[in-house]
A and B are shown apart, each in its own frame.
Chain A
Amino acid sequence: MQKTALYKALGIAFGALLVTACANNGDLEEGAGAATTATEQQANEAANNATTAVDSASLQGQSLVSDAEKAAQQALLDVTVFYFDFDQSSIKESGKAALSAHAAYLASNSGARIVLEGHADERGTPEYNLALGERRAIAVRQFLMAKGASASQIKVVSFGEEKPAVTGSSSSAYAKNRRVEVKYQSR
């Protein structure tokens, strides 16, 4: 408290000195002087309330961040379909954030169970596509496990080309059908 009182006293004294200086050096100096004074005062006030102000700000701030994070995390968990390139089973970069969120969810909810359904587009043979769909689902499984999900939480099934998300023989339909769907059996 003694220290605070000292700063206050110095502040008033310094302010008075500046006002005197401004009177001598015109508007420009006055402006600058006034700004300095205001800053100084704010700093002083902050300094005065240091403990309380920081504490309440940090409490409020934390809860705000947590909500945003939750929303972001939920938005990522809402992404449950992951797409693949033709004849490929490697996970695209664009899907990794959402898959990481699923992995984190599984890691912190040991009772959660998912089925990864692998799918292929209609080109090629049904049995080969069955294998391809499985490879895709397994790639997702490995990614989730590397990020903390456990094997017992993940079941894999491939439907090959048997259950397209979209019918049609266009490249856009194919792109939507080459996918792995994350399906929660229990949360």
Chain B
Amino acid sequence: MSGGPLDPPLPHRIASRAGAAGRDVQLQQFVNRATDIRDHARVEALDAAFGSRTEAVRTLAGQIKQHTLDHLDHYVGQFADAATAAGVHVHFAADGPAANEICLAIARRRGCRRCVKSKSMVTEETKLVPALQAAGIEAVETDLGEFIIQLDDDAPSHIVAPMIHKDRRAVGRAFEREIGAPYTEDPAELTAIARAHMRVQYQRADLGVSGANFLVAETGTVVICTNEGNADLSVSGPPVHIAFVGIEKLVPRLQDLPVFLKLLARSATAQPITIYTTMLTGPRRAADHDGPEEMHVILVDNGRTRLLAPDTRELLRCIRCGACLNTCPVYRKVGGGHAYGAVYSGPIGATITPLLAGLENYPDLPHASSLCGACFDACPVRIDLPGQLVRRRREMVETRVTGLLERSLMRAWAWSLRGPRRYRMATRLQRVGLRALGRAGWIRRAPPPLAGWTRERDLPVPARRSFHDWWKKRERGGRP
């Protein structure tokens, strides 16, 4: 499957979509408001919970994750041993197709026909649902937002709130068209329709697929956080449960979980903890009367070992809370995640997508940031996202993905700053040139490379006299 918003023609240019969203003012305002509410709620929730300790708590969470990543070989092995001891089949997938193929092989062996699936970003990476459908297995997304996205053949635009770009009317239309429900715009009625529809799916399903938020190495436990409860219903009914999990989800011990459970829910949705925190350590035991007969964990690499390089390792600390998306003015202005043209959007997506899919394929993403730093402030595991974006820019310069014209201009500018005489001369030239273009102190339309500036705002002309000229004259005249 290709051509969807998350699978655009390459190289992907964010500007085209940003422009479209800018014209689609309603969408932009909608996303703006939704993210703004979430962002404020996050700040209040963390402040209420931890007050002045918040920074220290975030630092600790980042350190635990960093420690785990620094010793990831050990913890992956420890997890595999413990999970196997608990009766889990652990699989190791190098990439998306391999992960899907492992899943399909299990489904074939068990004769599975109907899959209920809870939300998982990894399965978005691997494009699992189309792969299941191609193999003749019916696959239903059970998270309400993901379900509506699936009905509309759309793509999620937010890590936590996948249909943040859709309103209630779109939901009403999708339910009317796809599942024959009478049209309504009432969110409670819409939710009730989804509930009734989904209960039938849960009872018919013979395969449950989930992601995971954490893997506990010490005990081999898979931890899944949801608010709806769809993961529990998806994986406790069917005889087979398969969890797709990126290797960055590991934490060492159960006792390391509280800091993450406390931060994740507050950062994502301003809750003290998600409604359901489900800890699964193996399939049903001999004495149990329900639960899956088989449980599988597919550990997915899919580019993650590349990110494990020292310079980018911190990116794997990400716990997918979505706080950096909600707080990012760029994410808000482009109308949400689709503009990024990849599974992960916002600041985290802008920095990992070029690493996973190539700088040359996503040359706009590292530059789609004013480096304002709001994401760094919001990140519960303190990933230096602006610093990482600057590194991507440096890599673009080093690998000449940045074009010759831009490289020449920047180098000429840098040259002009390497001595006071050059600097004075350049400042003077700039003053004369820009003052000639200006009327009454303002330039309404400037030539390249400043054309982008005057497309959106006027450019003030330089002052008649620079500060350094003022100072020199004052020094000559002697201070009073």
> Is this pair of chains taken from one and the same complex?
no
Chain B interface residues toward A at CB < 8 A: none
